[in-house]
């Protein structure tokens, strides 16, 4: 299969990441089938996508006709069977290896023989996910970054068993979506998280060791190193729970102390201070 053969994309899981991926697909002119576990979640995702497309119209990036056409390319469903006609399916469900393996086993029995199956995992092993299928050669990683409609990077992840055709189909599709993909092997954390997670963990440890405030730590990194966003604000944006989970996964895979989440972040997660999405993290976010 080539990118030109990808006429319909499936997205399983329409939370923040999945809805963003579905949005970039319909904006790129691709018929997209989004699957969620309930009609209510399907409707919430459609409303989210419509909202952000509407903002695009308000800001002059889209016409009203383009917005309506994009929404017209989106179909939502609660049935995996409705993904049967998809040429490539992106999984964007909870970051749990068991759940992903179970889903990929089910997807394999639904989609046609030549379809590519991609996981959007940020920290789990693509190889282990692919191992749940009878044809692991068609399984790849397509790691989009949050927010998917804004950030241009997609890590296209190859396992040892992945076929060249599957990798190149995913890569070409990412380019068609207006992204700037890179190819990499299936190693813990891939490229960005392998570098970023221990770096952010070091930043959090400095808070206590250097007796610096989150505001001043962020000022140090934005004014001193020219980061576009400070580390505390970035972790709040990612979500403290998401960052802790990714840190735990990397630590389990590599055993390096820097990968382990700092206790300060673990406490924040346990207290429900998850960053922007909860209204409180290192900083407070009004309603």
Rounded Cα–Cα distance for residues 34 and 104 (Å): 16
Tokens of residue 70, six digits: 């994009």
What is the strand order of the sheet 8-12 is part of?
Answer: 74-77, 31-35, 8-12, 88-91, 116-119, 139-144, 153-158, 180-185
How many C-beta atoms surround the C-beta of residue 34 within 10 A?
Answer: 30
Catalytic residue numbers, as ranges: 122, 143, 155, 193
The Cα diameter of the chain in Å comes to: 58
Task: For residue 272, give the DSSP letter.
Answer: T
Which single residue is written with the structure tokens 């996508």?
A: 49
Distance CA 23, CA 48 (A): 9
Place of tokens 């407070």: 284
User: Residue 56: what are its φ and ψ, rounded to 5°?
Assistant: -65, -35
Q: Specify the DSSP class assigned to residue 207.
A: H
């Amino acid at each position: 299969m080539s990118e030109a053969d990808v006429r319909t994309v499936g997205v399983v899981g329409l939370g923040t990441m999945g809805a963003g991926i579905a949005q970039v697909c319909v904006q790129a002119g691709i018929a997209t089938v989004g699957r969620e576990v309930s009609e209510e979640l399907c409707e919430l995702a459609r409303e989210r996508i419509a909202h952000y497309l509407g903002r695009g119209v308000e800001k002059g990036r889209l016409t009203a006709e383009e917005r309506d056409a994009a929404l017209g390319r989106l179909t939502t469903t609660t049935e995996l069977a409705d993904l049967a006609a998809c040429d490539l399916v992106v999984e964007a469900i909870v970051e749990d290896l068991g759940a992903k393996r179970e889903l990929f086993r089910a997807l394999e029995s639904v989609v046609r023989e030549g379809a590519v199956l991609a996981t959007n995992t940020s920290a789990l092993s693509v190889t282990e996910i692919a191992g749940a299928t009878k044809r692991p050669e068609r399984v790849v990683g397509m790691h989009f970054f949050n927010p998917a409609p804004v950030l241009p990077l997609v890590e296209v992840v190859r396992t040892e068993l992945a076929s060249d055709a599957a990798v190149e189909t995913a890569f070409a599709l990412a380019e068609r979506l207006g992204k700037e993909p890179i190819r990499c092997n299936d190693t813990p954390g891939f490229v960005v998280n392998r570098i970023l997670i221990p770096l952010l963990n070091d930043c959090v440890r400095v808070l206590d060791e250097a007796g610096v405030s989150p505001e001043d730590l962020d000022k140090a990194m934005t004014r001193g190193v020219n980061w576009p966003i400070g580390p505390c604000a970035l972790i709040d944006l990612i979500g403290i729970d998401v960052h802790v989970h990714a840190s735990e996964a990397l630590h389990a895979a590599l055993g390096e102390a820097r990968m382990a989440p700092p206790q300060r972040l673990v406490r924040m997660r346990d207290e429900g201070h998850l960053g922007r999405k909860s209204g409180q993290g290192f900083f407070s976010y009004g309603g």
